[in-house]
């Protein structure tokens, strides 16, 4: 859910950026002027653009740093929903920094479902 929200925000931001660039180019073409080159250097890189477009980072380290929540999630899903085990790394990426909230939400969800079986 968090990841989808961020992706929508990135898509909106990219759309707005494309609109501004297109409008600037159209205005310059209408006046037969070349688009003005900004004297400020651009700080956005090709890797940043790829990341905003949802492409994987090419310079990610091969090994993941140990995450103490990974083992807890693995044990949790082995008990409650083994089909989710393959998604653990994606969940941890999406909820980086708020892992306690993720664990609490999952425990509430699955305990509630268990009560209503």
Domain ranges of the chain: 1-60, 62-117
How far apart, in whole angstroms, are the C-alpha atoms of residue 26 and residue 29?
5
58 pLDDT tier (thresholds 50, 70, 90): low
71 pLDDT tier (thresholds 50, 70, 90): very high
pLDDT exceeds cutoff 90 at 37: no
How far apart, in whole angstroms, are the C-alpha atoms of residue 66 and residue 72?
12
Q: 58 and 50 in contact (C-beta within 8 Å)?
A: yes
**Overall pTM surpassing 0.85 (yes/no):** no
């Amino acid at each position: 859910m968090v990841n989808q929200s961020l992706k929508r925000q990135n898509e909106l931001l990219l759309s707005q950026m494309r609109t501004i660039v297109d409008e600037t180019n159209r205005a310059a073409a209408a006046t037969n002027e070349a688009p003005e080159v900004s004297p400020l250097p651009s700080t956005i890189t090709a890797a940043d653009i790829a990341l905003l477009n949802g492409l994987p980072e090419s310079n990610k380290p091969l090994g993941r740093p140990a995450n103490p929540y990974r083992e807890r999630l693995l044990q949790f899903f082995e008990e409650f929903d083994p089909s989710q085990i393959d998604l653990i790394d994606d969940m941890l990426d999406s909820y980086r920094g708020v892992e306690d909230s993720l664990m609490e939400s999952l425990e509430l969800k699955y305990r509630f479902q268990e009560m209503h079986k």
